[in-house]
């Protein structure tokens, strides 16, 4: 059975339909990249999977169990963790406190504060610093660590490289490679197409709330994704009269 | 003079006690509870009822009244504040203002206009004193109140920083949406925080009844003192609340020394001075404060 399946999901922000009937599944251990232009609905989709948005229609199933009406804090206990866009740390609290908060749901597993600090050694000297005083890279590491502390089965990463220098992004992705190798299932939103294709097994390109392209990351070409990204594929699929 | 200062500091303990719940609720739940004083009076009446009808000492009565106050706090959050908070930042203030009127008048209807006190039920504690060096007499009750304030504020501080529940409550106050995403049940955290705040209000009501008299409309002055102490101490900081209570009480005591009617004026003057100094120090005039209120 698929770890996660999303069925005809529709999410609205007031009158705006941000996600329009998206369906996909992800198997255990898979890494799925979500790409698409700004406003394509990637963040909304991730937040709906994490339970921060209630869908207007459709279902989200985790291991076959219907999550649709489950609030976000209970989804964490069921193994879904989101690293939100913009990191959203508790800036009045220290790195350690942020990490410990990740353990609130109490899922058994082997993630601990020390293990997170081993994974991100740059956090070690900042353990008792308030996260509002950290650099962007340190904040991102804390946000990923906080999600890992809940021992998730499914990790949702929303634009983890946003606003970071290329060097720091390399470091964050090196850490993610370790997670992927250890078999954690990951859905990641990434603006950098090369990076998204390199790190993922499968890629979904979203356009205006719909899935425009889905395929194995090795098989799709950069060109195909770019076309889907900008909506150019629609002309080529239909017969275009000269 | 040293006598006035010591008495002022001890009185500050009482103000810190009544300000504690107000400050806690504001810092953790971003709610200004205008029913704060009335709820303290409600607790005082409950203790008085237990003492006069059933001969239960107010200290034993706390074992019944404090859990009751916790339940009231929980229900208040779930059924009133949580709903009204959805309507914007102003609505909870209006809601609690209305609640204060309802409580005051229900108490009036039930208990009439007579002033009551818990002093007759606590034996010699209400008037006994210790003699300190320099023939300074300090009331035993005042010392008990001051010690309670320190234990309560310190205990809350430790609870918030060192327990899982305390961290959950702080996370919820900072960002309820993200708190949910890391596994914190924000509704539960807020309901527990409200219950804790009401327990401190119950304690404040007990000491209000023991050190003085109260009547159904005694809530408003208590709210005023609590509010001033909380603001002077920097709203939201627990140790600041203790400092704020002491500063307020010292100003009142010294004001009374200057002029027989200077007690309240001294307190209000310090409150206003602190308020304006803080506003100008943060680069905000009253205009800036209004803008700030809109964005947060």
Q: What is the pLDDT of residues B132-158, one digit of tens each?
A: 888 888 889 999 999 999 999 999 999
Q: Any idea what DSSP says for residue B113?
A: S
Nearest Cα neighbor of A22 from A47, A31, A237, A216 is A47
**What pLDDT score does B17 carry?**
94
pLDDT for A211-241, tens place per residue?
999 999 888 888 888 888 888 876 554 444 4
Q: What is the mean pLDDT of residues A150-158?
A: 93
Q: How many residues does chain B have?
A: 296
Q: Which of residues 84-143 of A touch B (CB under 8 A)?
A: 84, 88, 90-93, 97, 100-106
Nearest Cα neighbor of B9 from B268, B200, B259, B254 is B254
Whether B75 maps to a domain, the answer reads yes
Q: Do B180 and A92 touch (CB under 8 A)?
A: no
**What pLDDT score does A192 carry?**
87
Whether B280 maps to a domain, the answer reads no
Whether B259 maps to a domain, the answer reads no
* A30, pLDDT greater than 90: yes
Nearest Cα neighbor of A233 from A207, A215, A209 is A207
Categorize the per-residue pLDDT at B43 as very low, low, confident or very high, splitting at 50, 70 and 90.
very high
Dist CA B261 CA B257 (whole Å): 9
Q: What percent of chain A stands above pLDDT 90?
A: 59
Residue span of the structural domain in which B164 resides: 2-249
pLDDT for B53-78, tens place per residue?
999 999 999 999 999 999 999 999 99
Contact criterion met (CB below 8 Å) for B27 and B194: no
Q: Any idea what DSSP says for residue B78?
A: I
Whether A143 maps to a domain, the answer reads yes
- SS3 assignment, position B180: helix
- SS3 assignment, position B137: strand
Q: Do A93 and B171 touch (CB under 8 A)?
A: yes
Whether B296 maps to a domain, the answer reads no
> Average pLDDT over chain B, rounded to whole?
90
Whether A92 maps to a domain, the answer reads yes
**What pLDDT score does B40 carry?**
96
Whether B261 maps to a domain, the answer reads no
For an interface test with A, give the residue of B164, B171, B181, B189 to mutate (most A CBs within 10 A).
B181
**What pLDDT score does B294 carry?**
52
Residues in B closer than 8 angstroms to A102, CB to CB, are 182-183
Whether B260 maps to a domain, the answer reads no
Q: What is the mean pLDDT of residues A139-159?
A: 93
Distance (Å) from the alpha carbon of A72 to chain B's nearest alpha carbon: 6
Query: CA-CA-CA-CA torsion for A124, B178, A85, A23, nearest 10 degrees?
Result: 130
CATH classification of the domain holding A192: 3.40.50.300
**What pLDDT score does B71 carry?**
97
pLDDT for B260-286, tens place per residue?
888 889 999 999 999 888 888 876 655
**What pLDDT score does A15 carry?**
87
Total domains in the fold of chain A: 1
**What pLDDT score does B292 carry?**
53
Q: What percent of chain A stands above pLDDT 70?
A: 96
Whether A242 maps to a domain, the answer reads no
Contact criterion met (CB below 8 Å) for A44 and A200: no
CATH classification of the domain holding B47: 1.10.3470
Whether A208 maps to a domain, the answer reads yes
**What pLDDT score does A238 carry?**
47
Helix (H) or strand (E) run with residue A124 in it: none
Rg, Å, chain B Cα set: 19
Q: Do B167 and A97 touch (CB under 8 A)?
A: yes
Whether B38 maps to a domain, the answer reads yes
Count Cα neighbours of B192 within 13 Å in the Cβ-side half-sphere: 18
Total domains in the fold of chain B: 1
Count Cα neighbours of A54 within 13 Å in the Cβ-side half-sphere: 5
Residue span of the structural domain in which A208 resides: 4-237
- Two tokens, residue A152: 């998730």
Count Cα neighbours of B144 within 13 Å in the Cβ-side half-sphere: 18
Q: Which of residues 22-61 of B touch A (CB under 8 A)?
A: none
> Using CB atoms within 10 A of its CB, is residue A124 exposed (0-12), middle (13-18) or buried (19+)?
exposed
In the beta sheet, which residues pair with residue A187?
Answer: A32, A156
Q: Is the pTM of this model over 0.80?
A: yes
Categorize the per-residue pLDDT at A182 as very low, low, confident or very high, splitting at 50, 70 and 90.
confident
**What pLDDT score does A240 carry?**
46
Q: Any idea what DSSP says for residue A94?
A: B
Whether B272 maps to a domain, the answer reads no
> Using CB atoms within 10 A of its CB, is residue A215 exposed (0-12), middle (13-18) or buried (19+)?
middle
Q: What is the mean pLDDT of residues A31-43?
A: 91
Q: What is the mean pLDDT of residues A130-159?
A: 92
> Average pLDDT over chain A, rounded to whole?
89
Q: Do A71 and B181 touch (CB under 8 A)?
A: no
Q: What is the mean pLDDT of residues A50-54?
A: 92
Whether A21 maps to a domain, the answer reads yes
In the beta sheet, which residues pair with residue B132?
Answer: B136
- Complex ipTM value: 0.87
pLDDT for B176-208, tens place per residue?
899 999 999 999 999 999 999 999 999 999 999
């Amino acid at each position: 059975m698929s770890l996660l399946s999303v069925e005809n999901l529709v999410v609205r922000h007031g009158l705006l339909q941000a996600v329009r009937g998206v369906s996909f599944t992800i198997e255990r251990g898979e890494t799925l990249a979500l790409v698409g232009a700004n406003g394509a609905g990637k963040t909304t989709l991730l937040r709906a999977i994490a339970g921060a948005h209630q869908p207007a229609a459709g279902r989200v199933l985790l291991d076959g169990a219907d999550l649709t009406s489950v609030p976000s804090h209970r989804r964490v206990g069921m193994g879904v963790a989101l690293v939100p866009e913009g990191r959203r740390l508790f800036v009045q609290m220290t790195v350690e406190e942020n990490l410990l908060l990740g353990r609130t749901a109490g899922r058994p597993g082997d993630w601990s504060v020390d293990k997170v600090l081993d994974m991100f050694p740059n956090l070690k000297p900042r353990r008792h610093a308030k996260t509002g005083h950290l650099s962007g890279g340190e904040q991102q590491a804390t946000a990923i660590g906080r999600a890992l502390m809940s021992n998730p089965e499914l990790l949702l990463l929303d634009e983890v490289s946003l606003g970071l220098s290329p060097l720091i992004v390399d470091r964050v992705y090196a850490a993610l490679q370790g997670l992927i190798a250890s078999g954690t299932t990951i859905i990641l939103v990434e603006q950098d197409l090369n990076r998204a294709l390199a790190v993922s097994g499968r890629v979904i390109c979203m356009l205006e709330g719909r899935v425009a392209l889905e395929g194995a990351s090795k098989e799709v070409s950069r060109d195909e994704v770019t076309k889907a990204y900008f909506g150019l594929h629609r002309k080529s699929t239909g017969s275009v009269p000269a | 003079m040293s006598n006035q200062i010591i008495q002022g500091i001890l009185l500050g303990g009482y103000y810190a006690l009544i300000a504690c719940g107000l400050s806690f609720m504001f810092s953790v739940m971003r709610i200004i509870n205008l029913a704060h004083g009335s709820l303290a009076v409600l607790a005082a009446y409950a203790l008085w009822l237990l003492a006069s009808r059933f001969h239960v000492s107010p200290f034993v009565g706390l074992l019944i009244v404090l859990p009751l106050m916790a339940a009231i706090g929980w229900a208040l959050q779930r059924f009133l504040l949580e709903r009204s908070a959805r309507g914007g930042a102003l609505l909870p203030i209006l809601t609690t203002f209305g609640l204060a009127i309802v409580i005051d008048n229900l108490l009036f209807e039930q208990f009439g206009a007579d002033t009551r006190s818990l002093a007759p039920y606590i034996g010699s504690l209400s008037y006994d004193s210790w003699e300190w060096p320099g023939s300074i007499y300090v009331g035993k009750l005042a010392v008990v109140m001051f010690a309670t304030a320190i234990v309560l504020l310190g205990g809350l501080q430790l609870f918030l920083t060192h327990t899982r529940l305390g961290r959950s409550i702080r996370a919820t106050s900072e960002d309820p949406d993200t708190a949910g995403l890391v596994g914190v049940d924000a509704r539960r955290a807020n309901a527990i925080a409200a219950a804790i705040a009401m327990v401190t209000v119950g304690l404040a009501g007990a000491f209000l009844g023991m050190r003085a008299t109260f009547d159904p409309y005694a809530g408003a002055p208590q709210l005023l003192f609590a509010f001033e102490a909380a603001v002077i101490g920097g709203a939201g900081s627990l140790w600041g609340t203790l400092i704020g209570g002491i500063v307020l009480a010292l100003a009142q005591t010294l004001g009374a020394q200057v002029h027989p009617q200077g007690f309240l004026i001294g307190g209000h003057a310090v409150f206003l001075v602190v308020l304006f100094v803080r506003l100008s120090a943060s680069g905000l005039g009253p205009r800036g404060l209004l803008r700030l209120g809109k964005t947060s």
